[in-house]
Amino acid sequence: MSNTTRYSVETIPGGYPRDRIFNPVSVAVMGVTPTPGTVPYDIFYNILASGYKGVLYPVAPGKRSISSVPAYRYLTDIKDDIDLAVIVFPAKVVARALRQCGEKGVKGVIIISAGFREVGPEGAKREQEIKDICAEYDISLVGPNCLGVVNTDPKIMLNASFARKMPAQGSIAFLSQSGALCTAVLDYARNRNIGFSKFVSFGNKAGVTEMGLLDYLHQDEQTDVVLLYLEELRDGRALIETARRVTRGDNPKPILAIKSGRTPQGADAASSHTGSLAGEDAICEAVFAEAGIIRLNTIEELFDTAIMLTNQPMPKGNRLAIVTNAGGPGVMATDSAVNLGLEIARFEQATTDKLTDALPAAANIKNPVDVIGDARSDRYEAAVGAVMDDPNVDQALVILTPQSMTDIEEIARGIVKVHEQTDKPMACSFIGAADVAVGVDILQAAHIPHYIMPEWACGAMADVQRIRRWRELPDEADYQPPSADRDAAAAIIDAAPAGYLDEDQAMTVLKAYGFPVPACKLCRDADEAVEFAEKNGFPAVIRVVSPQIIHKFDVKGVALDLKDADAVRNAYNDMFRHISEAMPDAEIKGVLVRGMIPAGREVILGAKYDSAFGPTLMFGLGGLFVEIFRDVTFALAPITPFTAARMVRQVKAFELLEGARGTGPADVDSVEECLLRLGRLAFDFERIAELDINPLIVGPAGQGSNVADVRIRLSE
């Protein structure tokens, strides 16, 4: 997809963070003030107090020292080379400070200060100035309007942020467009004993973007999983390209993301607060699907899944075993697991035998295994051990409720023992709080993920399955786009004014791109129509062609199933009489004559040029499915066969194409072929504002499809 970047609202000038942003040997904080509790002081003090392993210089005009560290009036007063400058000056003087960085040869800069694009036109101007300076001096920039950057690597220990405390070390990287959210996330994560490798608030992303950060973290040895909080998606194509590189291949790392502004009201709020371009959520959904990014809704879902990914191996399959000492939560977990697409494992006989031996008669030895309320550690260990050994089990969830005889600590130790002897992932849910705390600590120390509620564990396990399936998809490196006669289409499109193409022109464009268009001819009078129909065969169809008539059926501009020459002639005359009364001012170019298309299943293929995402594609089944159930899928054009298959299969009504209701399978291949061609057409011609093939009539498998109607609207 190398030529796709022309639809980027913004490519990535300096969008890739230089390593010195995360691993600087020397840091200057520019604009420090001496008052604790203010951002300019706190940022400086946080670096100082975090145990940073490099050299730290405060730039604080008019101060001799800050917290006893000697201060400098100007950056240029510092003799040492500076790797990273953190700018906390007020917005108005940021540009000047940045230029000083450039002159001193500083290549990494974080601008914490707010007052840029997010505050309106004046701020946007300031932001552009900053971008220009970064380009001029080749500066790698994080921010502005951000919380800063944290690197917990013990060799660096950099907390260049206004987060109160340094987070614990871990293998999760967190990237956030919202700064304020970061502090809350850090506090929340600390409470769950979750550590981070890197923590980045990238704010307005005037320089470094999420794409650059993803590439950087892909190479970062400390990072295993990337969490991403986005408020705007400015460059879907670049995100797809980058994320695929990160999430697949030799060194795959999962990306879990929240993209807020799902609802129109939420998007409103987003655009008023960071000046975001709120894209249509359906397109975002498509971008994430194409990118292999797991989209989640809430902060705790992010961490629920991240702790599973960072603590446990990838399961080999989808089959879950549940062991519980309480039937109720076992049933609830089963409901949740099944709803989320996990499979409830069926045990082999050997497992059932082991469970029968180890458990009392009243226990349930089927999955979910109920060891019963009075179970102690021996029963748990035997049951969990038995199910983990079963080749039909890919992963297990162990649930515990604290009864008065439950030896929680011993049970946790027993689970840890089983865990040490298996290479399959496990998770636990000891439901409760104080009573179960001692067991939870033991589990977590052994890197067994713990969830207060079993449903959360199921959610995390289901997300892991999505990642597994994504990684298993075949590569498509050798795919060749469909052939097309671009010149023939250009001859029509380039010459046409803005507005709808006439139907004969639209059909010619589709034909040039290899769509299955029925033989047809624009005929100027009844004789010509009869002549073509006789040559082409009966029954015939005639359709009026007029730039003013978009909805042909409304003015009786379509006549179907004309069985002979007389029928064509009469239909022609009737049509013209009716239209001359109904729309006397319509300019009639003639009628399009073609044969009847054999009946089949009707689908809709659409393309739309989106100002943020460029050409996008839509697919759905005809009529009601689209209108009532909004049962449609989207993608960015162009697409590959992989995406064509996804688009067709992700609509619920796909069953109908597959052959539900005893109709036999439809020719799905031909639909995918048409989607590929539409992807190329929409990509080749930016002027195609909207294109609707409605319907494409799909025949039985092997018998192809036919375009029954098409409308193409061109922009200026």
Name which of residues 654 to 713 contact its own copies (CB under 8 A). 655-656, 660-661
Beta sheet of 158-161, edge-to-edge order: 158-161, 148-151, 196-201, 169-176, 225-230, 255-259, 294-295
CB closer to its own copies out of 335 and 561: 335
Is residue 11 involved in binding its own copies (CB under 8 A)? no
C-alpha distances out from residue 572 to 535, 549, 560, 578, 579, Å? 17, 16, 11, 10, 11
Kindly determine how many residues on this chain lie close enough to bind its own copies according to the rule CB under 8 A: 95
Q: Which of residues 182-221 bind its own copies (CB under 8 A)?
A: 183-188, 190-192
- Give the shortest CB-171-to-its own copies separation in angstroms: 21
User: Shortest gap between Cβ of 79 and its own copies (angstroms)?
Assistant: 31
Partner residues linked to 501 by β-bridges: none
Kindly state the smallest distance separating residue 119's Cβ from its own copies, in Å.
5
**Residue (24 or 123) nearer to its own copies, CB:** 123
CA distances from 647 to 4, 59, 615, 704 (A): 20, 55, 15, 18
Q: Which is nearer to its own copies, 473 or 550 (CB)?
A: 550
Q: Least distance (Å) from its own copies to the CB of residue 320?
A: 10
The tokens describing 619, both together, are 């697919």
Binding to its own copies (CB under 8 A) within 591-610 occurs at none
Binding status of residue 263 toward its own copies by CB under 8 A:
yes
State in angstroms the smallest separation of the CB of 140 from its own copies: 24
Strand, helix or coil at 435? coil
**Contacts made by residues 35-40, CB under 8 angstroms, sequence distance 24+:** 39/88, 39/112, 39/162, 40/88, 40/89
Which SS3 state, helix, strand or coil, does residue 653 take? coil
- For residue 621, the surrounding DSSP H or E stretch is strand 614-621
Neighbours of 432 (CB within 10 A): 15
Q: Which tokens sit at 196?
A: 């981070």
Chain centroid offset of residue 420 CA: 35
**Residues 440-499 within binding reach of its own copies (CB under 8 A):** 452-453, 455
Site residues for its own copies, 395-414, by CB under 8 A, read: 401-405
Shortest reach from residue 189's CB to its own copies, in Å: 8
**92 in contact with its own copies (CB under 8 A):** no
34 near its own copies, rule: CB under 8 A: no
**Given phi > 0 = left and psi -120 to 50 = alpha, else beta, which region is 671?**
alpha
Q: Which is nearer to its own copies, 122 or 138 (CB)?
A: 122
227 binds its own copies (CB under 8 A): no
User: Which of 9, 25, 39, 124 forms a contact with its own copies (CB under 8 A)?
Assistant: 39
Query: Which one of the spans 56-64, 203-211, 270-278, 479-487 is the region binding its own copies (CB under 8 A)?
Result: 270-278
Could you tell me if 550 and 499 are in contact, meaning their C-beta atoms sit under 8 angstroms apart? no
Q: Which spans in 248-376 are helix H?
A: 264-274, 281-291, 299-311, 327-339, 349-358
- Look at residues 213, 237, 250 and name the one whose alpha carbon lies nearest to residue 288: 237
Residue from 270, 448, 588, 710 in contact with its own copies (CB under 8 A): 270
Single-letter code of the amino acid located at 333: A
Nearer to its own copies, 135 or 624 (CB): 624
Minimum gap (Å) between residue 435 Cβ and its own copies: 4
Q: Which is nearer to its own copies, 364 or 536 (CB)?
A: 364
User: Of residues 418-437, which lie at the interface with its own copies (CB under 8 A)?
Assistant: 431-436
Out of 209, 223, 242, 260, name the contact with its own copies by CB under 8 A.
Answer: 260
Start-to-end CA span in the chain (Å): 26
Contact present, 659 and 652 (Cβ < 8 Å): no
Per-residue binding letters, 320-339, with its own copies (x by CB under 8 A): -----xxxxxxxx-xxxxxx
Question: How far, in Å, CA of 158 to CA of 82, rounded?
Answer: 15
Q: How far is the CB of 118 from its own copies (least distance, A)?
A: 7
State how far the Cα of 559 lies from the Cα of 529, in Å rounded to an integer: 12
By CB under 8 A, is residue 121 in contact with its own copies?
no
Q: 104, 281, 330, 306: which is closest to 192 by C-alpha?
A: 306
Residues 338-357 that bind its own copies (CB under 8 A): 338-339, 344
Window contacting its own copies (CB under 8 A); options: 129-137, 319-327, 347-355, 527-535: 319-327
CB of 1 to its own copies, least distance (A): 30
Q: How far is the CB of 520 from its own copies (least distance, A)?
A: 28
Considering the rule CB under 8 A, would residue 282 count as an interface residue with its own copies? no
- What does the alpha-carbon distance between residue 451 and residue 268 come to, in Å, rounded to a whole number? 34
Q: Where are the beta strands (DSSP E) in 221-280?
A: 225-230, 255-259
Using the minimum distance from each CB to its own copies, give the nearer residue, 274 or 444.
274
User: Among 366, 447, 535, 577, which residue interacts with its own copies (rule: CB under 8 A)?
Assistant: 366
Residues 123-162 that bind its own copies (CB under 8 A): 162
Contact 184, 163 (CB under 8 A): no
Give 3-state DSSP helix, strand, coil % of the chain, rounded to 5. 40, 20, 40
DSSP letters for 171-218: EEEEEES-HHHHHHHHHHHHHTT--EEEEEE-TT-SSS-HHHHHHHHH
Q: Which stretch binds its own copies (CB under 8 A): 128-136, 293-301, 508-516, 590-598?
A: 293-301
By DSSP bridging, strand 169-176 and strand 225-230 are parallel
Residue 443 or residue 526: which is nearer to its own copies going by CB? 443
Q: Which residue has the tokens 């998770």?
A: 427
Contact flag: residue 269 with its own copies (CB under 8 A): yes
- Cβ proximity to its own copies: between 529 and 656 the closer is 656
The reply on whether position 113 binds its own copies by CB under 8 A is no
Binding status of residue 68 toward its own copies by CB under 8 A: no
Least distance between its own copies and beta carbon 297 (Å): 7
For its own copies, the binding residue among 12, 60, 114, 460 (CB under 8 A) is: 114
Give the shortest CB-655-to-its own copies separation in angstroms.
Answer: 6
48 binding its own copies? (CB under 8 A):
no
When binding is defined by CB under 8 A, the residue of 272, 356, 548, 715 that contacts its own copies is: 272
Q: Per rule CB under 8 A, is residue 628 in the interface with its own copies? A: yes
Q: Which of 127, 231, 381, 503 binds its own copies (CB under 8 A)?
A: 231
* Beta pairing, strands 705-707 & 688-698: antiparallel
